[in-house]
Amino acid sequence: MKMLFDRNRGLLLLALVLAALPLVLPNAFYYDVAIRIALNAVVVIGLNLLMGYTGQISLGHAGFYGLGAYASAVLTTHYNWPPLAALAAGAVATGLLALLLARPVLKLKGHTLAMATLGLGIIISIVINNETQWTGGPDGIAVPAFTLLGLEIGGEKSWYAVCAALLLLFTWFALNLIDSPAGRALQAIHGSEVASRVAGIDTTRFKVKVFVLSAVVASIAGSISAHYIGFITPNLAGFFHSIELVTMVVVGGMASVFGSIVGAALLTILPQLLSSFEGWETVVFGVILMATMIFMPRGLVPSLAQRRHKHKAAEPGHAAVDKVAAKAVAKVATSAKQGS
């Protein structure tokens, strides 16, 4: 029981925080910020599986987010599809597109991979801008309310419950994936693709799967975001949104699920907190990000966890344990030499 608790301690803490937040959020503005954090965190968790755990960079993930959003908008507005069916169709279409492009794109590495995914995102953004008869072009398009079994999701509290449940679900899924053989294969690929292939891992298949998974997650979050906001523009599929998502991954912590949540929360809240700087908020925002990368290059959560581990290791109790272990190892080595 204790081992089960230790393993799921972070997930339980997240569930408690999400359950307690409605008790302290004073008005609709704070609910709106919390909802946006949850939706961003869902996308960033999927992106971190690709970047942090597998080592494959993507600068075009906002394109997948936009595909999901516009699939829901177009299908519900022009064809009167049920919102849930439109969401599913958008996720399937995005997954198929990602599957089609994954093999040629993921053969690339480093800067060339970054440029290829950047180009993909820009193409999606241009298509959304130009197909004005379907998407509304630069002016955007209104999105109907989300209904399920005849019930409409309305009000900040209802949307917060939906987005919090979605965040908890994807966090649980990501944590279980990482601890599975597939997750260990992804981390092995990040460490060394050559060594992974020698060990018998089909690196191409795993990279394609995680690329498709992260694209589908982004699409689902985009669809839900479109229904929540009620009006979308091509900016949500643009280059700057992709950079924002990557920054959330890097600041929160590469290869850290909870780092993804922290990064999403920080970069969603910071612009609101810095609004009082009147024209200098972008500069202050940039300084904060630079300081984070200089003093915590692994990201906030992994860096803080590393410092906590070093502090624990320096405690007298841990030092004594290390000395005992060192003596035991020395005895074993001495016995082995005498036996030989």
Is the four-CA dihedral 156, 160, 64, 79 of positive or negative sign? negative
Domain co-membership, 176 together with 284: yes
Encoding tokens for residue 272? 């609101």
Whether residue 244 is contained in a domain is answered as yes
Q: What is the DSSP annotation of 252-321?
A: H-TT-HHHHHHHHHHHHHHHHHGGGGTT-HHHHHHHHHHHHHHH-TT-HHHHHHHHHHHHHHTSHHHHHH
Q: State residue 186 phi and psi, 5-degree precision.
A: -60, -45
Q: What is the pLDDT of residue 309?
A: 78
Across all residues in the chain, what is the average pLDDT?
A: 89
Query: Would residue 1 count as lying in a domain?
Result: no
Percent over 70 (pLDDT), the chain: 89
Same domain, 324 and 230: no
User: What CA–CA distance (Å, rounded) separates 41 from 37?
Assistant: 6
Do both 203 and 136 map to the same domain?
A: yes
Average pLDDT estimate for 35-56: 96
In a domain, 232, yes or no: yes
pLDDT above 90 as % of the chain = 74
Is the distance from CB of 193 to CB of 206 less than 8 angstroms? no
Indicate the residue among 281, 298, 315 that finishes a domain: 298
Residue 4 within a domain:
no
Q: Which domain CATH number covers 267?
A: 1.10.3470
φ, ψ for residue 285, nearest 5 deg = -60, -45
Could you tell me if 282 and 315 lie in one domain? no
Name beta bridge partners: 142.
231
Question: Is 245 part of any domain?
Answer: yes
Q: Is residue 3 part of a domain?
A: no
pLDDT at 329 over 50: no
Are 230 and 309 in the same domain?
no
Q: Is residue 129 part of a domain?
A: yes
**Are 280 and 305 part of one and the same domain?**
no
Average the pLDDT over 266-292 and give the result: 81
Task: Out of 12-16, 114-118, 283-287, pick the least confident.
Answer: 283-287
Closest CA to 125 of 222, 236, 23: 236
Range of the structural domain that residue 310 is part of: 301-340
290 and 310 housed in the same domain: no
| pLDDT band of 326, cuts 50, 70, 90 | very low
Domain count, the chain: 2
Q: What's CA 15's distance to the chain center, in Å? A: 17
Positive or negative: CA dihedral 144, 147, 152, 156: negative
Which residues have C-beta within 8 Å of that of residue 256, sequence separation ≥ 6?
Answer: 48, 52, 299, 301, 302
**Helices and strands in the chain, H and E counts:** 16, 4
* Model pLDDT for residues 158-215, shown as the tens digit of each residue: 999 999 999 999 999 999 999 999 999 999 999 999 999 999 999 999 999 999 999 9
Same domain, 272 and 182: yes
For residues 106 and 174, membership in a common domain is answered with: yes
Q: How far is the C-alpha of 92 from the C-alpha of 278, rounded, in Å?
A: 43
Let me know if residue 2 belongs to a domain: no
Q: Which among 70, 69, 68 has a CA at the least distance from the CA of 91? A: 68
**Stretch 95-116: mean pLDDT:** 93
